[in-house]
Structure 1
């Protein structure tokens, strides 16, 4: 019987698609004004590097800025890099919004199971927890919040963050579900830990790139989870 649901944060509970674009554009605008680089080309390059680094699970913004400066043919400055990180995440947090079905699902689940969040670090200690606090997600509903790469030595897709969260809840993996939005990051580790895996694709469904990225269930929205899985009648 399912006794817990663990969820990803960005892209699962909060819609960060517009936030990411606005944050990338803010950085590109700053670099255009300071170095005279082309605005839209730079914004596109930032987006490309972010996608590449996400897939490689490299979350350090410093490393991303170094790669950006290298491709732009600019000499990297660590102080400028730190300013870019602050700028990026300030804009990112401002523009992130809860999905319309987030609160409904969380309150539905809270009456039936334990809840947790397993999310990766932003690459700056404490920053992800600050974004969680500012996101509008009702953290008081959650029994455990794990920031992988800070609370644990490894980030997703390692199984370690999932096993760590389950240990905090005192549950076995067969008693828990993990819900995310990116198969390459969210499925392999949860599956290795022994959990049932769900991907919310929100109109962007794509085939897994490898067998270990194939979830047990795919749903279009969080709201569909209420009906896609047999839940306990009341919290155990």
Structure 2
């Protein structure tokens, strides 16, 4: 039986639609500068890396926090404030500052034109483990459904979050395609949910070979994605 023509394409966000590493690095630097002014005890006691290591240790202790990385950061900051004897009421404005900087993303150059070309051809959705706010970023209107792990209660690669997004779009997993940069979370996760998965590999990496994961296709850009869709629209 030939593959079903795609009726929906769903996207990962961070490092698929925009680069996130530089954004997080800048947000953490801005946050640490803010701490130096408003909670100097925290800034003196904990470097950016020390705060990161504490979050990783907290995640080891409480892996359920993987579904809400914003809450993980908030709890980590709260513990640092308490350890430094600073006013914990300042954690919320600190988090607001970080979140604003974290949403200051710049899409890859091909993303907005690519989404515009996809509009009307297939249903569009997104699934993310991150805490990006598409309304603040200004991209919510591109997607019929946007599902975040922190709202759903389960995170990629759990197949449930993929099947829930498909159900919200009114399509079967076999009728949907997922596009993401992470082989385990995005590609394997979507395939285990019965979807086809395209690996957005902007770095020309060959890591999928060692990982033993076989994407249904590998794309370096939205142009590659659109060519793949053209080739599968009439299957």
CA deviation digits over 1:68-124, x for unaligned, max 9? 656xx645764233222111111122x3112110112112222321111112353xx
Highest CA radius of gyration, 1 or 2?
2
Quote the Cα distance in structure 1 between the aligned partners of 2:148 and 2:105.
18
Residue 11 of structure 1: which of 3, 9, 15 is its match?
15
Q: Between Structure 1 and Structure 2, how many residues are aligned? A: 220
Question: What RMSD, in angstroms, separates the aligned Cα atoms of the two structures?
Answer: 3.3
The structural deviation recorded for 1:163 is 0.6
Decide which structure has greater helix share.
2
The structural deviation recorded for 1:174 is 1.4
Quote the Cα distance in structure 2 between the aligned partners of 1:47 and 1:203.
26
User: 1:125 maps to which residue?
Assistant: none
Quote the Cα distance in structure 2 between the aligned partners of 1:191 and 1:12.
17
CA deviation digits over 1:19-57, x for unaligned, max 9? 211111112212334127469x8233455667886xx63
TM-score (norm 1): 0.76
User: Matched residue of 2:178: which SS?
Assistant: strand
CA deviation digits over 1:121-143, x for unaligned, max 9? 53xxxxx4xx2012232x33423
User: Matched residue of 1:115: which SS?
Assistant: strand
1:50-69 aligned at under 5 Å gives the runs: 57-67=66-76
Shift of the 179–77 alpha-carbon distance from structure 1 to 2, 3 Å rule, reads farther
Quote the Cα distance in structure 2 between the aligned partners of 1:147 and 1:44.
26
Unaligned regions of 5+ residues in structure 1, if any?
123-127
Shift of the 111–29 alpha-carbon distance from structure 1 to 2, 3 Å rule, reads same
Quote the Cα distance in structure 1 between the aligned partners of 2:100 and 2:52.
17
Q: Is 1:24–1:47's contact at 8 Å kept on the other side of the alignment?
A: no
The structural deviation recorded for 1:187 is 2.5
* Residues 1:105 and 2:107 are matched in the alignment: no
User: 1:133 maps to which residue?
Assistant: 135
Q: Is 2:9–2:123's contact at 8 Å kept on the other side of the alignment?
A: yes
Shift of the 60–103 alpha-carbon distance from structure 1 to 2, 3 Å rule, reads closer
CA deviation digits over 1:174-195, x for unaligned, max 9? 1111011222322233122111
Residue 41 of structure 2: which of 35, 39, 56 is its match?
35
User: Matched residue of 2:95: which SS?
Assistant: helix
TM-score (norm 2): 0.76
User: Matched residue of 1:198: which SS?
Assistant: strand
User: 1:226 maps to which residue?
Assistant: 226
Quote the Cα distance in structure 2 between the aligned partners of 1:160 and 1:112.
26
Quote the Cα distance in structure 2 between the aligned partners of 1:161 and 1:179.
14
